[in-house]
Chains A and B, each alone.
Chain A
Amino acid sequence: MIAGPSPLPVIDRRTYRQLMTDVVEVSGAVKRFGSVSALDGLDLSVRQGEVHGFLGPNGAGKTTTLRVLLGIVRADAGGIRVFGLDPWWDIPTLHARLAYVPGDVALWPNLTGGEVIDLIGHLEGGHDATRRDRLVEMFDLDPTKRARSYSKGNRQKVALIGALASRAELFLLDEPTSGLDPLMEDTFRRCVRELRDEGRTVLLSSHILSEAEALSDRISIIRGGTVVETGTLDQLRHLTRTAVTADVAAVPPGLDRLPGVHDVEVAGNRVSAQVEPSGLAPLLQSLAAAGLHTLTSHPPSLEELFLRHYGAVDDGVADAEGRERV
């Protein structure tokens, strides 16, 4: 913000809407391809300045959602707003403010990587030149090679550099690290953190849970074209169980009858169980009464969260109760 005694800017209704609304707002989005329903009443909101992890298995509708937000696929129904605008009709305004990395990167075989990066840059309204060169170096890409000789990882780097070097405020990234080696994955994570530190917004579609876990401020989990969970990692963890392992003097009977305590296993003096947040206090009380020697607990990993939604064959929400382990 500019310091000094400048008069307050007059804010018209449109700007006001944009200030007050999330960067991405989707409500009840529906998209059918023939008889197949790709999006089935999807709700999604991405806030200004956050890294939003968008998780789901193959075919859940991640890519379709991103394409709808990009305005290259048109939803059959639902309210779709990016920066408060309609992505299908407002491409010139919107795309000056966003950048995209597709899930499948195809390049022109007889253009060089550098040429493609700069083409993307021109279409995005100009790259930050120093940033572009730094990214080329960071990702260890030879931009003079013809695209036909690039491996999958190198094609991916071209698309990543093309997007990350832009001055966009919103980044739509569709499984951006597929094909990258672990070293480059690390580079990518550093870039995303940089973007967040600069106050830019990232919607990161992925099925690599550790990646989403490491980068995301908030996470939405999509299944069958619907978002089934959304929130911060901590909020999502609250919905689920903590793994508790304890060594006690003598194992008290009836632990598996305590409310909110599941999967109790006893081996000698060692007890392990999966505990809902509400069951923690009663369990700890009875363990303490039994002479507690050691206690370890860890929150569920994202992977466990994910498996709870997808591990079961049946309906997602019901699984939260009757869960099945893999």
Chain B
Amino acid sequence: MSDTLTGTPAGMPTGLRRRTRAGTLAGTLVGTTRMIGLAGRRDRWLLSAWLIGLAAMAGVSAKATVDLYPDVASREEAARSINASAALVALYGRIYDPGSLGEVSMIKLTAFGSALVGVLMLFIVVRHTRAEEEEGRLELLSGGRLGHGAPLAAALVLADGASLLLGLLTAAALAGAGLPVAGSVAFGLGWTATGVAFASVGAVVAQVTTSARAARGLGLVVLSIAYALRAIGDLAEPGPSWLSWLSPIGWTQQVRAFAGDRWWVLLLPLALSALLVPAAFVLRVRRDLGAGLLADRPGPARGSIDGVRDLAVRLQGRILLGWAVGFAIGGVLLGSIASSITDFLASDSARQFFSKLGGSQSLIDSFIGAELGILGAIAAAYGISAAGRLRTEEVEGHVEPLLATTTTRLRWAASHVTVALLGVVILMVVAGVAMGTATALALHDGAQFGRVLAVALAQIPAAWVMTGLVVTLFGWAPRATPAAWGVFAVFLTLGEFGVLWNAPAWLMDLSPFQHTPRLPVTSGWALPLSALTLVAATLVAAGLAGWRERDVPA
């Protein structure tokens, strides 16, 4: 072995060395085109469905609103009632031009819709970078001409391209529904810009953690913070405060499509992306394939996992803890916003509006109901994900060795189902206690605690139904288990837009969330809550029965 081999290529002429280094950027990206092809090939149906679905959702909502509010007076009335409700402002944002047809029809899709777009793009980037590394598939390709940054570049091209396509499709759908063209383009590009921003967030979080699950979780935390910042900022009178300007989702709102079309705001998310993307590439080029920023620490030499129930707790416990922390923070934030509800009542028109509806308590009730409804849906998402573990454990081959022991199928399945069902309860109790305490403190009214907690607990049975649906699918149509997410999305969309779209009542009644009772607490709560619980129990039992009968793995 010669001495020239230590460290840098000392024996190499400096000119040659410089050429090698100068080729670094191109070298890092070599193979990107192929990786785009691979990603596109894998995602062609799923991604097309998402893009068309989102654009169609915008178009249908616009069309329905055009028919619903034919004249300026009716739109101003609607805009006033939205701006007067703290719950709606926190959830959706403000309407800045009450006469604008476009703003009134898109209010639900501005912040909320761009958050959805953000989640989609974040997940796409993680799916084609960290998830591929974690699964070991990138290693298979690494003998080819594949630069360190090529998968990341391909993921970003795919996500940014999809964002742009989505923006254009949405603009076309809105203009086609009869909204002004300039505003439609501004709105569509607003979604594009949010998509680009969260794709770059995805690029960075994918470098930090070693597991794709953790990367997605970290990305969702960033997105939730962005959403909360703009919620608080928008509530400030006359809104928005500087907090909204810290949030990429706030930026989408401040484009003010259909209410002035402030095109320059679109540059903010692009600038954020221009900062984050190079950072992600630097992190990637500096680390080994499969490594994160933190090295794994050694664990215990001897195991204390005692049976499958312990195993399920060990596998899912830390994740549940993370969710619970999120729910606690979310509950406190939402509860403390409640104090600004009373600020809303300062304006004459708002007081008139709400006295017609039953006074200030009704305003607070609608706020509690709306915010906890959201948390309840998120808890249902947790239940779906936790019960979905049944399927991922099976696909990854973890079940077979367990079933080869004295463990029965029922006992194994019950371990994960229990985590999912109890997890939902834990999350809603945490949310209820946190938000109840914060609300009571904010309004100086101890009685609010019980009301908030009651509403929080009332969300549980509907979430359980979604868990039960996962178990049923797992038992009878295992490969369709992920379809539970699709059903969940349909239920949420119907709850949000069903009335606007004139959806048939039977269809809307399919959604368990439709049957969760609202304040005030009455004896009428017992029937829907026990019915939902019964449905959930039936779905779980049916799923377990199917699981006992079917092949493993299927």
Contact = CB atoms under 8 A, between A and B. Distances in A.
B382 to A, nearest CB: 26
Contact of A17 (B12, B148, B288): B12
B142 A159 contact: no
B136 A78 contact: no
Interface stretch (A115-123, A209-217, A304-312): A115-123
Interface in B253-298: 288-291, 295-298
A72 B288 contact: yes
A39 B515 CA distance: 61
B289 A28 contact: no
B20 A86 contact: yes
Contact of A74 (B34, B288, B297): B288
Contact of A122 (B21, B34, B291): B34
Interface residues of B, number: 45
Nearest to A81: B5
Interface in A54-82: 67, 70-74, 77-81
Given A14-B16, A45-B1, A91-B148, A172 B143 contact: yes
A275 interface: no
Contact of B143 (A25, A89, A120): A120
Given A73-B288, A106-B140, A110-B42, A89 B145 contact: no
B444 interface: no
A99 B143 contact: yes
A28 B30 contact: no
B318 interface: no
Nearest to B28: A91
Name which of B4, B34, B139 has the most chain A CB atoms within 10 A of its CB.
B139
Given A25-B1, A43-B1, A159 B140 contact: yes
A13 interface: yes
B139 A72 contact: yes
B145 A92 contact: yes
A98 interface: yes
A84 B145 CA distance: 17
Nearest to A168: B143
A227 B396 CA distance: 35
A79 B4 CA distance: 8
A67 B289 contact: yes
B58 to A, nearest CB: 30
A124 interface: yes
Q: Which residue among B5, B135, B290, B291 has the maximum number of chain A CB atoms within 10 Å of its CB?
A: B5
Contacts of A90: 20, 23, 27
A106 B135 contact: yes
Given A14-B12, A67-B288, A119-B141, 15 more contacts: A25-B1, A26-B5, A33-B296, A34-B296, A79-B4, A84-B9, A89-B21, A92-B23, A99-B143, A101-B143, A105-B140, A107-B137, A107-B140, A119-B34, A124-B143
Give 7 nearest A-B pairs by CB, closest first.
A100-B143, A123-B144, A79-B5, A34-B295, A72-B289, A106-B136, A73-B288
10 contacts: A67-B139, A72-B139, A79-B6, A92-B147, A95-B146, A100-B143, A108-B38, A110-B42, A120-B143, A162-B140
Interface of B: 1-2, 4-7, 9, 11-13, 16, 20-21, 23-24, 26-28, 30-31, 34, 38, 41-42, 135-137, 139-148, 288-291, 295-298
